[in-house]
Amino acid sequence: MTELLPLAVYVHWPYCARICPYCDFAVVRDRGRTDEQARLAEAIVADLEIQRGLTGPRRLTSIFFGGGTPSLMSPAQVAAVIDAAKRLWSPADDLEIGLEANPTDAEAGRFAAFAAAGVERLSLGVQALDDAVLKTLGRNHGADEARRAAVLAAAIFPRLSIDLIYARPGQTVEAWKAELAEAIAWGAGHISPYQLTIEAGTPFDRAVGRGTLKPPGEDLAGDLFDATQAVLEAAGFDAYEVSNHARDAAFRSRHNLAYWTGVDYLGVGPGAHGRITDADGRLATLAPARIADYIAAVEAGGPGFGEGERLTAEEIAEERLLLGLRIDAGVGFAEVAALGLTPDDPRVHDLVAAGRLAGLIRRRRLSNGMAERPPPPPLSDAPLAPGLYVVATPIGNLRDITLRALDVLQGCDLLLAEDTRVTSKLLSAYGLSKPLARYDEHSADRAGPKALALLAEGGRVALVSDAGTPLVSDPGYRLVGEALAAGAAVYPIPGASAALAALTLAGLPTDRFLFAGFLPPKSAARRTALEALRDQRCTLIFYETGPRLRACLSDMAAVFGDRPAAVARELTKLHETCIRGPLSALMADPALEEPRGEIVVLVGGGAEAVATEADADTALAEALRRLPPGEAAAEVSAQLGLSRKDLYRRALALKGAK
């Protein structure tokens, strides 16, 4: 018997008690529309029956009620839609039935009735746990209502997801971490943290235009994203999609995965999208957003979406690629063949080398089912000795990894990484899979003892930075010190370093150099640090961020004067650049106006001081106490760079004067 093709069903309920200022969905206010809502509920069931004729027999994998606010539907209306869908298609054994809900007390009072209607997964739109923030977001619930609703939902529904919004105006990293920690404590198996997006035409968009609303800048938004990953990962959540985290596979959203993996889905309700594959290809459907138009289309006997649009092979492949790369499973080359992409395509290799794409060649997520080509030569099968391995990794181009580093990454029992997302891309690119834990300044106290315990048992732990050589401007030195104190062996695995790479192409002296790392962020403290380095007669190397670069160069010019310098960024990546010149020119260079990416600043050393006659006499007088005139002249000549012959005559004169 042929297995039925899967089908997901999306139900759009467009009514909201209040329309949020950031929302650009097809929604309307709920008030005074009771008769219309009853007609819409009937039209949705009728539309399901009409579209059954388009899909034929299918295996029903999920039903999802979105909106709008579907928790404003009556439980009887929800039950009628569920019953119709299960009657029209064959329900899968693990059929997922989900519904979005607001956490107001009134809607929470319906939770038990929704569960009785068949809903087994609730997505609770908490969004924030601060009353002032909720007011800014236009929400009609308070933080305490959200807490009560979450606890109640966790007790009623087998599967609960919490929706939160971050990168909000005025939000701090610490406050966001506290919100995440509280949400985790509710026991939900799934958390969806969404970064606030300012959509065109919304009230928030107009407020930003007027300057009355100021979202966080890129750096803070990035810090908030990093905090999201770190907190949820530490709590055991897997980031299986850009904005979706699950405790394990059982808690993942099977309905959303249908969108992301190219499964057919049917859309009913005003403004609902759908994708249906039939004998003529793949059909994109879109129902009219106006409620009256949708109801009229269904009551006239046609599907709610009208004619639909046939997608070309290229459009199908583009959609599959864009949606599939949101998730950790990725996309197979066979699925995007219409775009002409193959494992050997230079564009693919460039993206992998730049760290933009992971999993090429050896991993299924980017496999085309053809014979795979492992990177020569093969990795060593020799077991690693117990101990801590400090492993340098690429700073941009993944092909810069050393074979010995790959041996260690393959053979270790635990891999500690400053940024597990970056390291996951590296592992995926070489077909490796290892237990991975975060080790940075926020997690060192938690991850360090676990690593030390493993080392004490004879385990093999690898420590990597997010890029380059560990311990260079990162907290790894703590773990190395603790491992040595505990008697564990420590092995360096050398490789890429942004500081050394920048030094090789800066055009500044390389015989002597000093790595100073990151300078303080505030100008006064930064100038104090620079003053301490002013007299160093060697090339100085610093790390810096894009937003602080211009101010940093200005402080350097003020302290060092107009020395020769270089700014290198995105080393070994597609957009690698190195701009050289005096500090005054670099300060004014438009290409360095808040550049993105990793930045290395190099500055020439201070000028050698010219020895005076008095310096020579002082040095000769001291040397003559120990040495005859000839040897004293030779020693001082080496010290001060002065003529040995002149110094010898001067030494004889000083000797004779005595």
Q: What is the 3-state secondary structure (H, E, C) of 285-314?
A: EECCCCHHHHHHHHHCCCCCCCCCEECCHH
Q: What is the pLDDT of residue 658?
A: 57
Rounded mean pLDDT, 547-569: 94
Sign of the torsion angle spanned by Cα atoms 431, 490, 403, 422 = positive
- Any idea which of 11-25, 201-215, 295-309, 600-614 has the lowest mean pLDDT? 600-614
Give pLDDT, residue 374: 39
Residue 358 — very low, low, confident or very high, per pLDDT cuts 50/70/90? low
* pLDDT at res. 5: 93
Question: Residues of 420-456 as b/e, b for ≥16 C-beta within 10 angstroms?
Answer: bbbbbbbbbbbbbebebbbbbebbbeebbeebbebbe
pLDDT above 50: residue 365: no
Report residue 405: phi and psi, to 5°. Answer: -60, -40
Of the listed ranges 73-77, 373-377, 455-459, 619-623, the one predicted with least confidence? 373-377
Going through 140-198 in order, the beta strands assigned E by DSSP cover 159-166, 190-195
Q: Using CA atoms in the order 117, 273, 256, 173, what is the torsion angle rounded to 10 degrees?
A: -110
66 close to 12: Cβ distance less than 8 angstroms: yes
pLDDT > 90: what percent of the chain? 62
Q: Which of 88-92, 384-388, 589-593 has the lowest mean pLDDT?
A: 589-593
- Which are the contacts of 208, defined by CB distance < 8 A and separation ≥ 6? 198, 214, 215
Q: Give the CB-side neighbour count of residue 579, counting CA atoms within 13 A.
A: 19
> Which residues make beta-bridge pairs with 241?
244, 327
Query: For residue 39, what is the enclosing H or E element?
Result: helix 34-55
Share of the chain above pLDDT 70, in %: 94
CA distances from 270 to 43, 50, 192, 201, 288 (A): 10, 15, 25, 20, 6
Calpha distance 310→281 (Å, rounded): 7
pLDDT given for residue 587 in this prediction: 92
Dist CA 69 CA 19 (whole Å):
10
Tell me which residue of 332, 342, 334, 398 sits closest to 365, measured CA to CA: 332
> Is the overall model pTM greater than 0.85, yes or no?
no
Q: How far apart are CA 288 and CA 26, in angstroms?
A: 9
641 vs 644: CA distance, rounded Å: 9
Q: What pLDDT shows up at residue 576?
A: 85
Q: Kindly tell me the burial class for residue 515, based on how many C-beta atoms sit within 10 Å of its own C-beta (0-12, 13-18, 19 or more).
A: middle
CA-based nearest residue to 344, from 332, 361, 329, 357: 361
pLDDT grade, residue 115 (50/70/90)? very high
Measured distance CA(24)–CA(145) in Å, rounded: 25
Pick the residue with more confidence: 241 or 426?
A: 241
Nearest to 120 by CA among 112, 131, 128: 112
Range in 298-302, 376-380, 490-494 with the lowest mean pLDDT: 376-380
Q: Does 375 have pLDDT greater than 50?
A: no
d(Cα 387, Cα 489) in Å, to the nearest integer? 5
| Over residues 346-351, mean pLDDT | 73
65 within 8 A of 14, measured Cβ to Cβ: no
First to last CA, the chain: 115
pLDDT confidence tier of residue 362, bands split at 50, 70 and 90: very low
Other CB atoms within 10 A of residue 133 CB: 19
Kindly state the DSSP code that residue 327 receives in the 8-state scheme. Answer: B
Average pLDDT over residues 253-260: 95
Buried b (16+ CB within 10 A) or exposed e, 523-553: eeebbebbeebeebebbbbbbbbbebbbebb
Which distant-in-sequence residues (6+ apart) come within 8 Å of 70 by Cβ? 11, 13, 78, 99, 100, 101
Taking a C-beta distance cutoff of 8 angstroms, is the pair 507, 539 a contact?
no
User: Phi then psi for 60, rounded to 5 degrees?
Assistant: -80, 115
